[in-house]
């Protein structure tokens, strides 16, 4: 059935994606920093679905992490048929006040590790003429993000990178899908120091729905997946509005989350 490597599998969207892969009979390799959570999830998936589930405990903020993950997979002879670059985090705050160390780490996890893992595993997929990559981007990929400037910029990179690769890879049997969810009910907001006002909480997407949309889109080889009709409409409308207006709108919204 094939093997999936999923980063950020200890919680949230990544954990739900791991459930979906396992339920479909795929073996999984779960990557994150929290060993206890990864072990518990692996055990649940093995018991529930009778698949193979292995864990790799890594901090993707470390420059060598992606290479180390790749070498473990090579040594263990785990052929990666599905790569899910999901690990990521954000930080709310004015750029003049936020910690550079956190933002440097964010770029390392959201951008550098995602790029390195893609670089490592993609050639094997192309050689086999089969493979699927799911890059978890965001609604943030489509617009500038005042008060979360670095996070939005990292997600713009993920979308641009994924669309470009999808084009380069036409005819190879390998596809790259960017999953672009709006606010989703996970631990993301706490890690990002966000206090969502009630209307944002109310319109937050269900994590299972987001994972299902991403999984289905990746399997179909879609280029972009935006879960939820209102969010698809929002992205469509943004194309026709001046960027400065969109930036002002995002700024207004983010202020309410401080």
In the complex, the smallest distance separating the C-beta of residue 210 from ligand NAP, rounded to whole angstroms, is: 8
- Residue 135's contacts (CB-CB under 8 Å, 6 or more residues apart) are 85, 114, 118, 158, 161, 162, 176, 177, 178, 179
Q: Which of residues 42-81 bind ligand NAP (CB under 6 A)?
A: 59-61
User: What's the per-residue H, E or C state across 133-151?
Assistant: EEEECCHHHHCCCCCCHHH
Active site residue 151: yes
Residue 137 near residue 161, CB atoms below 8 Å: no
Binding segment (CB under 6 A) for ligand NAP, from list 21-29, 125-133, 186-194, 212-220: 186-194
Verify binding: residue 146, ligand NAP, rule CB under 6 A: no
Verify binding: residue 8, ligand NAP, rule CB under 6 A: yes
Distance CA 29, CA 47 (A): 15
The tokens describing 222, both together, are 């879609």
In terms of CB distance, is 191 or 257 closer to ligand NAP? 191
Helix count (H) and strand count (E) of the chain?
11, 7
Q: Which of residues 85-104 bind ligand NAP (CB under 6 A)?
A: 86-90
Distance CA 114, CA 148 (A): 20
In terms of CB distance, is 88 or 131 closer to ligand NAP? 88
Verify binding: residue 186, ligand NAP, rule CB under 6 A: yes
Question: Which residues here bind ligand NAP, judged by CB under 6 A?
Answer: 8-14, 32-34, 37, 59-61, 86-90, 109, 136, 138, 181, 183-184, 186-188, 191
Catalytic residues: 151
């Amino acid at each position: 059935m094939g093997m999936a490597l999923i980063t950020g599998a200890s919680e949230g969207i990544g954990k739900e994606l791991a459930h979906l892969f396992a339920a479909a009979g795929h073996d999984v390799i779960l990557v994150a920093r929290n060993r206890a959570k990864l072990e518990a999830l692996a055990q649940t998936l093995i018991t529930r679905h009778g698949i193979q589930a292995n864990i790799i405990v890594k901090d993707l903020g470390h420059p060598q992490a992606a290479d180390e993950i790749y070498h473990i997979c090579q040594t263990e002879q785990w052929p990666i048929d599905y790569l899910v670059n999901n690990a990521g985090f954000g930080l709310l705050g004015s750029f003049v006040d936020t910690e550079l160390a956190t933002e440097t780490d964010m770029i390392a996890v959201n951008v550098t590790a995602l790029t390195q893992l893609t670089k490592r595993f993609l050639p094997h997929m192309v050689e086999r003429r089969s493979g699927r990559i799911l890059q978890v981007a965001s609604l943030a990929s489509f617009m500038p993000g005042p008060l979360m400037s670095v996070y939005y910029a990292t997600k713009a990179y993920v979308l641009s990178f994924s669309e470009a690769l999808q084009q380069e890879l036409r005819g190879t049997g390998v596809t790259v899908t960017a999953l672009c969810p709006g606010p989703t009910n996970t631990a993301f907001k706490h890690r990002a120091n966000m206090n969502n006002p009630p209307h944002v909480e109310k319109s937050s997407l269900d994590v299972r729905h987001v994972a299902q949309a991403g999984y289905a889109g990746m399997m179909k080889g879609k280029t972009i997946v935006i879960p939820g009709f209102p969010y698809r409409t929002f992205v469509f409308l943004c194309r026709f509005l001046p960027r400065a207006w969109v930036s002002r709108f995002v700024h207004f919204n983010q202020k309410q989350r401080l």
